[in-house]
Amino acid sequence: MKKTNDGKSEKAGAETGLNIIHAQDIYKQFGDEAVLRGIDLNVSSGEIVGILGPSGAGKTTLIKCLIGTLGLNRGSVFIHGVAMPSLCMMDRIGYMAQQDALYDDLTGFQNLVFYGRLKGMRKRAAKDQSHELMALVELSGDESKKVAHYSGGMKRRLSLAAALIGDPDVIVLDEPTVGIDPVLRELFWQEFGRLKAKGRAIMITTHVMDEAEKCDRLILLRDGTILENGSPERLKQKTPKGTLEAVFLESAKRQITEGRTV
């Protein structure tokens, strides 16, 4: 395999179908409250997996458990066959939280270089890739502007770029398109498609139905358990209306009838 400047192996172009994330019987509770109850899931390379579910379903907790920033009460997570949390695997994960998680008093460019350096990139390589990513998210003209002066949409774009620095092969995005306009959303999904084509394993949590349609597979999470796991087409067939919205609403309704808060 070809080596890059960073001494890392250059990732295979469009190698798809390899199991990248493997989670087994994840159980997580905060105090007395169980947030995840026995989750099993797999994500392969070249696959976009959407996690759909009402607020409080445990989407963010699930994501944090998968990437190793939250400890598990039971179960295990493997990335590339390595038990998480593992320091060496951490550099191969690109993570975008619901919060922008940027340093307001640094410029957009400095933010990217910083995150790149943390991923183990050399200074030169981190700078080069930061320029590329700034161009990708259409922020080239604002590289030297402090993030404090960015608009909400610009911050979101920079946050996505920060998740992509270091060319991670596992990309985990927690509601990446919340609060951004349709044009920007389109840009984001174009990029997700490109990453998928490069063989990256992508997980996205979302509330937006037309976004969910674009995923290869959907995991419908409710009350800490997986309700459905399948392609959007397969899920749609499960309701008379044949829309994802109906699938979502039905699951939420069931939750209300069972007396749980949505």
**Residues that bind another protein in the complex, under the rule CB under 8 A:** 64, 67-69, 71, 85-88, 90-91, 93-95, 97-106, 110, 114-115, 117-120, 146, 162
- Long-range interactions of 249-256: CB distance < 8 A, separation 24+: 251/53, 251/54, 251/220, 251/222, 251/227, 252/54, 252/222, 254/222, 255/54, 255/222, 255/223
Question: What is the radius of gyration, based on Cα positions, of the chain?
Answer: 19
Length of the chain in residues, anyone?
262
Q: How far is the CB of 79 from another protein (least distance, A)?
A: 12
Q: How far is the CB of 99 from another protein (least distance, A)?
A: 3
Nearer to another protein, 49 or 70 (CB): 70
Nearer to another protein, 87 or 183 (CB): 87
Q: How far is the CB of 169 from another protein (least distance, A)?
A: 14
Q: How far is the CB of 47 from another protein (least distance, A)?
A: 20
Nearer to another protein, 16 or 24 (CB): 24
Residue 262 has a CB neighbour count (10 Å cut-off) of 14
Residues 149, 155: Cα–Cα separation, whole Å: 9
Q: How far is the CB of 236 from another protein (least distance, A)?
A: 33
Residues 27, 117: Cα–Cα separation, whole Å: 33
Are 18 and 45 in contact, with CB atoms under 8 Å apart? Answer: yes
Nearer to another protein, 69 or 239 (CB): 69
